[in-house]
Amino acid sequence: MTYLLIALVFAIIVSPMLWLRQTPRQKLVTAVRQQAARAGIHVRLVRPPDAREGEGRLEFVSYNLPWLPKTASLPLPRMEKWLLVRQTRRGDPSPWADWQWLGREANPAIHDAIGVAVLALPQSVSALEAGAAGLSIYWQERGELADIECINSQLIALREAIRPSDSKQEKSIN
């Protein structure tokens, strides 16, 4: 009887500590966010990309790749302020299936670069945006660790198409 009582007290003490363990999904999300941070991507919780003012909860995660310092924006209009959302009923049609423009459409000069990114991004990505802070994707982190490499490479390629770095500009001059 004494052993049973000791086991019960021990179980009562240990059980709350077991609740603090991460689930496999939480471990994956943590690893994805750490890899994104190492790649220079900023992560934050956001509302759905197609939510109106005051709508929606913070149920999406924005992965933002900032513009490179000392890179000037191109003089062409609508290069850095646009939003492309997947599978929404709002917005204007885009050249890519299941994607809609919300707000302003991007400059046609970068449509090829956007098209490459849209086709290569994981299916779980629900939006692609260019803004003052840089390029962002919106998703609910449904995927794998390898998705971060894909997202990072596509955002870097798109950033180079919109704001070429000095080394790329020097190569094109020579």
Q: One digit per residue, pLDDT tens: the chain, 174 residues?
A: 788 888 888 888 877 777 778 888 889 999 999 999 999 999 999 998 888 887 778 889 999 999 988 777 666 667 788 999 998 888 889 999 899 999 889 989 899 999 999 999 999 999 999 998 899 999 989 889 999 999 999 999 999 998 887 654 434 333
* Contacts of residue 150, Cβ cutoff 8 Å, sequence gap at least 6: 120, 121, 122
> What is the per-residue pLDDT for 91?
87
Domain ranges of the chain: 23-173
> What is the per-residue pLDDT for 173?
34
* Contacts of residue 63, Cβ cutoff 8 Å, sequence gap at least 6: 36, 41, 42, 43, 136, 137, 139, 151, 155
* Contacts of residue 31, Cβ cutoff 8 Å, sequence gap at least 6: 145
pTM beyond 0.85, yes or no: no
For residue 96 the two structure tokens come to: 């890519």
> What is the per-residue pLDDT for 170?
37
**Phi, psi for 42 (deg, rounded to 5):** -90, 135
